[in-house]
Structure 1
């Protein structure tokens, strides 16, 4: 009986810990990192991301980026904007690990603005 109680406590602790790491900010970080490691970001920066460009693997993803330009020119991606976004993501990861969800989300908002609309 004691073994079952102890095992239950361990499983509950693991389930609780796992959900703490899967915050909405963690998901935002992963999403923006995929964008910054995409073929579109490579076209902006001229550099292939470490490990090669990624793909979402989604059956809803476009085979090619849409043509045209963003309606708001301030959302155009730039090399410096992508670099700043990567630095902000590093900061957001630290905030997320520290449990600062609000700070992490605020930092991710800035990171998205800096990344701009990638092709």
Structure 2
């Protein structure tokens, strides 16, 4: 009798916890959005993100963007690339909501490439 009471309770708890868990793709989306709303992105695009640039408030964060250029020139950030990355994030969000994790992750890989190495 005890097992029959515990099992349904455990299933209810498991079911309640399932939807609350964030997918790895939604975590990637949040991370890239913070990058695209950073002071470095503002430096590249010349536009302040809506709500102002974000800050990580991390003790490890740099006070100023590095002066050097990326070692791989193909990773240089551009205003157009940042705009394309924002559009790709909208697509990835829809894919994540639809449960298309593979599509979302592929789209996020492309968004990261488009964003480039932001200062």
CA distance in 2, matches of 1:9, 1:23: 21
Q: Deviations over 1:38-58 (max 9, x none)?
A: 001001111100000001222
CA distance in 2, matches of 1:47, 1:111: 19
Q: How many residues align?
A: 116
1:17 to 15, 19, 22: 19
CA distance in 1, matches of 2:37, 2:94: 20
Aligned to 1:18, what secondary structure does the other structure show? coil
Gaps of 5+ in 1: none
Gaps of 5+ in 2: 1-5
Runs of 4+ deviating beyond 4 Å: 4-10
Matches within 5 A, 1:22-101: 22-101=22-101
* Larger Rg belongs to: 2
Q: CA RMSD in A?
A: 1.9
- Return the offset for 1:14: 2.1
- Return the offset for 1:32: 0.4
- Return the offset for 1:11: 3.7
- When normalised by structure 2's length, the TM-score is 0.87
